[in-house]
Amino acid sequence: MNKKAYEVKILNQKFLLQTDSDERYVRKVADFVNEKIFNIQQKTKSVSSLNVSILVALNIADDYFKMRKKKGESTAHMEAKLKELVQLIDNHLQ
């Protein structure tokens, strides 16, 4: 795919992003980050852009790891159920 360049504004800074993704997706990601920034700025007294950026990065990483863990637990639960069903079918066929 051809990479396209999109300009987004995050924390009042312009960034030129080159990506295979479409513009709507890029805007959605930038809006998500800006929303996280706004939420952190409302909750903290920190005025440093660096501090706010680090807190946002930590919040996004936390969300990511929680979702990954939840997905992993769901997958493990489904695998256990599938094994249980296979065992029931095997028992029934014997």
Q: How many domains does the chain fold into?
A: 1
Q: Which domain holds residue 83?
A: 4-93
pLDDT tens, position by position, 13-69: 999 999 999 999 999 999 999 999 999 999 887 778 888 888 899 999 999 989 888
pTM, to two decimals? 0.70
- Average pLDDT (10-14) is 90
Do 14 and 55 contact (CB within 8 A), yes or no? Answer: no
- Residue 54 phi/psi, 5-degree rounding, is -65, -45
pLDDT at res. 94: 65
How does DSSP classify residue 20?
S
Give the three-state DSSP class for 79.
helix
pLDDT at res. 1: 66
pLDDT at res. 33: 93
From start to end of the chain, where are the E strands?
4-10, 13-19
